[in-house]
A and B are shown apart, each in its own frame.
Chain A
Amino acid sequence: MITKLNHVSVFVLNQDSAYEFYVNKLGFKVHTDAAMGPGMRWLTVCPPDQPELEISLMAIEDGMMFKNGAAAQMKELVKKGTFGFGVFECHDLNATYEELKEKGVVFKKPPTKEFYGYEALFVDDSGNWFSLGEKK
């Protein structure tokens, strides 16, 4: 029986820039930041109230994971905003929307009442988008 999700990957164009976005704009905490050799880094962050969920900010680079030009293709798809990686939660959507906008976070949808709930969509520094909703 599966009981928990503890790691999830978000593919990013640049880990330094992703660090700035997730840590300094979204307010996430760095869980692990390990140098893995020249130009390689294992970087995970977690939402402030969910330290057990590591979001791996995974650099898209040629190698075993992306072979035969797949890295370039993946980068293009990420830049185009192809991927929606998840749904985040906050206490108050309007307040969080105002705060994140103030910090320069780009929203592709402002807080909107949908039939399934109250939701906004924001985009990270690479082009990945996330839904943001209120705690129910």
Chain B
Amino acid sequence: MSQQYPKQYLYKRVVQAKLFIDEQFSEKIDLDNIADEAWFSKFHFIRLFKTMYGNTPHQYLIKVRIENAKELLQKGISAADTCFAVGFDSIPSFTALFKKYTKLSPSVYQQQFKERQEQIQKVPLQFIPNCFAEEKGWTKK
């Protein structure tokens, strides 16, 4: 793979595009513009991005939005507010995509996360292999 794109600037352009998505995911991102800014044809940009990151820019943007949605849901933000905060403009499409990636609806994900956190607080030793807990002296408390 490394031999196919020997020129460092190619990497830097695509890396910059990826970092742009990482930072600006909540905005309306026009992937055509990103390809333009990276000085590639759209086709070449998508092909190179997929080679480097295993996803097309669009797939990657969705993944980043879903990952950030998970973090907001973990903080107790409502599913509707999360949807718009991470850059989706339709709650049904956000819910469908979230379910596709996580196998859970946003509200069920949030509820399960909350219950797990409560359980961690209540009985943390259930989440730690006993050998480590013993070494740390946590089992005697």
Q: Is the A/B pair a real complex?
A: yes
User: Assuming A94-B2, A98-B11, A134-B1, is B132 touching A34 (CB within 8 A)?
Assistant: no
B15 with A63: CB separation less than 8 A: no
Q: Does A99 contact B (CB under 8 A)?
A: yes
B12 with A98: CB separation less than 8 A: yes
Give chain A residues whose Cβ lies under 8 Å from the Cβ of B15.
95, 98-99, 102
A63 with B19: CB separation less than 8 A: no
A36 with B138: CB separation less than 8 A: yes
Q: Does B76 contact A (CB under 8 A)?
A: no
1/0 contact string of A78-106 vs chain B (CB within 8 Å): 00000000000001111100110010000
**Contact size range, A:** 20 to 34
Query: How many pairs, one residue from A and one from B, have CB atoms within 8 Å of each other in the complex?
Result: 70
A92 with B129: CB separation less than 8 A: no
Give chain B residues whose Cβ lies under 8 Å from the Cβ of A99.
15, 18-19
A91 with B127: CB separation less than 8 A: no
Give chain A residues whose Cβ lies under 8 Å from the Cβ of B127.
32, 34, 42
Q: Does B136 contact A (CB under 8 A)?
A: yes
Give chain B residues whose Cβ lies under 8 Å from the Cβ of A111.
2
Q: Does B92 contact A (CB under 8 A)?
A: no
Q: Does A2 contact B (CB under 8 A)?
A: no
1/0 contact string of B7-47 vs chain A (CB within 8 Å): 01001101100110000000000000000000000000000
User: Assuming A65-B136, A93-B2, is B11 touching A34 (CB within 8 A)?
Assistant: no
Q: What are 19 A-B pairs at a CB distance below 8 A?
A: A7-B132, A32-B120, A32-B127, A32-B128, A34-B124, A35-B121, A37-B138, A56-B132, A64-B135, A91-B51, A92-B11, A92-B53, A94-B2, A94-B8, A95-B14, A98-B11, A98-B12, A99-B15, A99-B19
